[in-house]
Amino acid sequence: MPMDNSIADRARSLIEDHLVPYRHTALLVAIISLLGGRALVGGTGVGAAIYSILVMLVLMVAVYTIQIDELYSDQELLVRQRKKRGFIGWALAIVAIVLHLSLFVSPSHILATAGSLSLLLFFGFVTLTELRAVLRQKTVTRETISMSISVYLLFGLTWGFFYLVLFEFQPNAFSFGGAPAPSELQIPPVLIYFSLTTIATVGYGDITPLTLQARYAAVAEGIAGQFYLAILVARLVGIQMSQSTIEAAEEKVDDSDSK
């Protein structure tokens, strides 16, 4: 038993020393691995299994990231908020993981819809939590940049799962350029691809929203993505200028004290 506790303590210490300071970078790497990994493995059954593993990886890292956050003001209040975020995040993640694993045991349309909805709720919660954290930042660091990029990609993932849920209820919501609708295994990465091209306002035209709900969702995503980038740049520039002004003032004080 003491040996097990020693191993657990070392593992906890290793995580706190190496993962906590770079948790936002770890989340960004996990999201990029999810997006890039699915594209590399293709739409085969093995690809779907790897995609599921990567989704679970993002779930775990995202929950850990939102649970460990800087405390800015009232510590007691923010500790309670952190516990609440952790509880909600773990609950949504566990539901999503269970539903995702159930699809491999007993595939069904109902389970697929419930799984997509659970992922939509989870990624929506994580996106809002990380967005609040970005807007609360007072200094610009590498972790701040990683967090900002992660939020942008999380916007794309969240809208992608919304399109997936919408497609489950409205199979005619999207036109795939005259080609037949992708298979059930191909639908998630295809709609996430559509979401990412929409938020980036690339608009290749190979996938077109047809129903009113799909069209307005695509327009809302494009607008939200552009507003986020504009506000983010203004926010980061303002923080950097304020930080530079404070550093310059501190240098002047140090120079005057030395004289």
Could you give the domains of the chain?
A: 2-258 (1.10.287.70)
More confident residue, 73 or 181: 181
The pLDDT of residue 68: 62
Contact 63, 89 (CB under 8 A): yes
Residue 247 has pLDDT above 70, yes or no: no
Residue 158 has pLDDT above 90, yes or no: yes
- Helix, strand, coil percent values for the chain (each to nearest 5): 80, 0, 20
The residues near 177 (Cβ < 8 Å, ≥ 6 apart) are 205, 206, 207, 208
More confident residue, 257 or 153: 153
Residue 47 has pLDDT above 60, yes or no: yes
The pLDDT of residue 75: 52
The residues near 226 (Cβ < 8 Å, ≥ 6 apart) are 201
pTM summary value: 0.79
Question: What token pair was written down for 55?
Answer: 């989704």
Contact 174, 194 (CB under 8 A): yes
CA-to-CA distance for 193 and 123, rounded, in angstroms? 16
pLDDT-derived band at 216 (thresholds 50, 70, 90) equals very high
CA-to-CA distance for 138 and 239, rounded, in angstroms? 6
Residue 160 has pLDDT above 50, yes or no: yes
State pLDDT tens for residues 166-199.
998 998 899 887 777 777 777 888 899 999 999 9
Question: What token pair was written down for 126?
Answer: 């994580």
In this prediction, residues 27-44 reach a mean pLDDT of 77
Contact 211, 170 (CB under 8 A): yes
Rounded to 10°, the helix 142-169/187-199 angle is 120
CA-to-CA distance for 144 and 24, rounded, in angstroms? 8
Contact 149, 28 (CB under 8 A): yes
At residue 35, what is the residue type? L
Question: What token pair was written down for 178?
Answer: 């005259």
In this prediction, residues 139-143 reach a mean pLDDT of 81
**Best mean pLDDT range from 7-11, 64-68, 149-153:** 149-153
Q: How does the average pLDDT of the chain come out, rounded? A: 79
Contact 31, 24 (CB under 8 A): no
